[in-house]
Amino acid sequence: MTALRRLVLAATRYQRAMTLGVRVAATDAEGRLLLVRHSYLAGWYLPGGAVDVGETLAEAALRELREETGVSGGAPVLFAVYHNRRNHIRDHVALYRVAVAEVPEAAFTPTREIREAAFFAPGALPPDTSPATLRRIAELSGDSPPSPLW
């Protein structure tokens, strides 16, 4: 890569608009947490994704939950907002809590993006749950204080 190309890439990294995403900590009546397994990443994650233009964070949380899992939730409650420096220096993620009143029998259908979605008891999470997901679960349970970083 040429020096000019490296300079252009570095400048672009600092000038791009902020990106904004949501993650959802959805729990059922038994206190189990809903996690998803993507087709393009190893491990289990909280459902979530990008906030669309003209959409509120709360609307995005409910939409992503429904799109990725087939489950609808109650009113989302903001837990924390994080700076995610891993992918982009201007990326932020809002984490919402959502209570799921009932889970339809055939709520989840695998897609190209999401291969599995399942509820797990907090003490029985899959061994390949992502490190960031484990950190968020510890924060949600009060076992650790919320971090400003994803």
Q: What is the pLDDT of residue 108?
A: 82
What is the value of pTM for the model shown? 0.84
Specify the higher pLDDT residue, 148 or 106: 148
**If pLDDT is split at 50, 70 and 90, which confidence band does 10 have?**
low
At the top level of CATH, which class does the domain 30-141 belong to?
alpha beta
Percentage of the chain exceeding pLDDT 70: 85
**What is the rounded average pLDDT of the residues 37-63?**
96
Q: How far apart are CA 34 and CA 23, in angstroms?
A: 11
Mean predicted confidence (pLDDT) in 114-122: 95
Domain boundaries, the chain: 30-141
